[in-house]
Structure 1
Amino acid sequence: MDLDEVADRLYALPPSEFTAAREAEARAAKDAGDVRLSRDIAKLRRPTVSAYAVNRLAREHPDALAELLDVGERLRAAWQEQDADALAELTQRRGDVTGKVGRLARRAGGLSAAAGTEVDQTLDAAVVDADAADQVRRGHLAKPLHYSGFAPAPIPRGRPATRRRKSADTEADTETGAAAAAAEAAKREETAARKARERQEAEAAHREWREALEVAEREHGERAEKVARLETKLAKARKRLADSQQRLEVTRREERHARQRLDR
């Protein structure tokens, strides 16, 4: 048994079943003598509803997801090659395939509007970023994904070769202005993405600690109730012991008096 095998089992479960199953897997690894694996399992985070929806897509609809990820790979390649025709075609296909896959995620039910938006953001991240695509394909997501860089987008057809050449100075000024605008846009996008990630991480941490609190409160209540029952039994036992002690003292006294009368 290794961590990937355990993660495959755990992240196939609904979030409501994850924590108890994770604790059972960690105990099993510890009982088997693999303390390191037990610690690694305990570190696996409970998935959000949206992350579980994407994990389920990877398991139940691998072909549809593979089609989307293939579009993403080809889209990134077209962007690298600055192929305007391919980008235009793939961008349209991307919208169609993303919509289809998103509907498959929602069809299972249990997704709020906010969770549905997180699913869409995760799928978009998988299209434009190879690392995100790998994470989605594995089906081990604990939280939704966001992309903070530039997303491939259609570029104007008819590059400068089909247009009248501008002067070198004008072209340079245009490129400089475009680069500055792009840098500013990237900075704003990165800031927004960072804040979104921090917010999601904080929400995920709060959910996990809230769940741990509920477990601790339930366990404390059960043990307190057990102690109360034991204390009630102990009080009754002490009373019976006191009654027995009293009878013992009376019996000893009467036996002693009877023996004294016998000895006269």
Structure 2
Amino acid sequence: MPVVGRRPHGPRHRPTGEVRPTVNLEAVADELYALRPSAFTATRDARAREARRAGDRDLATRISALRRPTLAAWAANLLVREHAEETARFLALGEQLRRAYQDLDGGRLRELARTQRELIRALARSALDSAAASGQSLGEGARREVEQTLQAVLADPDAADQWSAGHLATSLTPPTDFSSTGLPAAGPGRAPARTSTRPAKERSTKERSAKERPAKVADLDRARDRRRRREEEADEARRAAEQAAGEAAEEARRAEEERVAADDALARAKERSTAADRRLTAARDELRDAEREQQAAADAERDAHTRAQDASRGARAARRSADRATREADRRRSGPRTR
């Protein structure tokens, strides 16, 4: 995978002559596909944001296009990273199988098929063990997908290249012209030449194999071309689906951010409403207290007014009584005197 440099039209305030660092997309992919699938998306988005902030939108787009691996693909990638020796042996076995298939060497194919069956089972167990050691258990379906991926690696050099990079996002599928045993699938004109124990038939068998070889190789090439076209169409459809899924995920992320913001705004509004309710309750309590105090003052005022009126009436009555007593006293003092 090429090394992608940062774009030369970065921020204008960057000093002239400063050397921009380069970002290796393959290194980013190595980091991402070594992670557990559950951590893939968040880390990928973080790396894309870093590239975007650095001004390299093309790199950010390419990082965002990396797809999260399935559990089976992740486990197959683990084999490449953690079992380098077994991986090298398996890739070499694939080259030998494909060479024997092209040479129509039936005996060699059967010999290698026994080896590949044992190696596939061993590698699949290693994948499950590595996944479990990373805290992720795999079910029976994932194990079968790992085995199918390994079968595809044996049959197809392109699949071998994809697997050896350690960046698989989905499981690989063996070509239709290879059986589950690693031998060419049975069919008209497709059976490999068989060695004979009878010396009398040995020459005729070799001659027939030599005549059939070009046709079989052509059949194999056509089958591979058909398979590659199907894979390209499937890849295109998968990329379109993944792009749609990515857009939907981005839309869901934005909707989630809006929902969180709305929840925060609602929480703040509720807090303000609760504080206002508390202040209103306190004001109502103060109003009730003031009304009670006002009523008590009015009652006291009425009582005082009544007492004042009563006192005024008593005072007037007392003055009248005093006036009468004074007049009576004056009358008595001014009465006729004895001569």
Q: Which has the higher contact order (CA 8 A, sep 6+)?
A: 1
CA distance in 2 between partners of 1:207 and 1:84 (Å): 46
Match for 1:223 among 239, 255, 261? 261
Q: C-alpha distance in 2, partners of 1:33/1:210?
A: 25
User: Contact between 2:105 and 2:193, CA under 8 Å: does it hold in 1?
Assistant: no
Q: Which amino acid in the other structure matches residue 158 of structure 2? A: D
Change (3 A) 1:214 1:51: farther
Mapping 1:165-180, distance limit 5 Å: 165=204
Q: Give distance in 1, aligned partners of 2:256 and 2:83.
A: 38
**Which consecutive unaligned segments of at least 5 residues does structure 1 have?**
243-264
Cα distance in 2 for residues equivalent to 1:161 and 1:70: 36
Query: Is 1:94 matched up with 2:109?
Result: no
Aligned residue runs from structure 1 range 237-248, under 5 A: none
Q: Which runs of 5+ in 2 are unaligned?
A: 1-22, 185-191, 281-339
The change in CA–CA distance for 1:165 and 1:76 in structure 2 (over 3 A counts) is: closer
Matched, 1:120 2:157: no
Equivalent residue, structure 2, for 1:232? 270
CA contact under 8 A between 1:2 and 1:37: conserved in structure 2?
no
Contact persistence 1:46–1:208 (CA under 8 A): no
Larger radius of gyration: 2
Counterpart residue number, 2:305 = none
SS in 2 for 1:47: coil
Root-mean-square deviation (CA, aligned residues, Å) is 3.9
Aligned residues: 227
Q: Quick one: which amino acid aligns to residue 266 of structure 2? A: A
Identical columns (%): 37
Question: Greater helix share, 1 or 2?
Answer: 1
Q: Any idea what the Cα deviations from partners look like across 1:189-210, whole Å, max 9, x if unmatched?
A: 96xx87xx68x949x8498678
Amino acid at match of 1:13: L
- 1:78 aligns to what? 100
Letter in 2 for 1:153: L
TM-score by length of 1: 0.70
Distance in 1, matches of 2:81 and 2:204, equals: 53
Equivalence for 1:249: none
Task: Determine the C-alpha separation between the residues in 2 that align with 1:233 and 1:215.
Answer: 27
Offset of residue 81 of structure 1: 1.6
* Structure 1 contact 67–97 (Cα < 8 Å) conserved: no
**The residue matched to 1:11 in structure 2 has which SS?**
helix
The 10-residue stretch of structure 1 (80-89 or 64-73) with the greater mean CA deviation from structure 2:
80-89
Counterpart residue number, 2:167:
140
1:47 corresponding residue in structure 2: 69
**TM-score, length-scaled by structure 2:** 0.56
User: What is the correspondence of 1:206-217 to structure 2 with a 5 Å cutoff?
Assistant: 215=253
Q: How many angstroms apart in 2 are the aligned matches of 1:67 and 1:219?
A: 49
2:91 to 39, 61, 69: 69
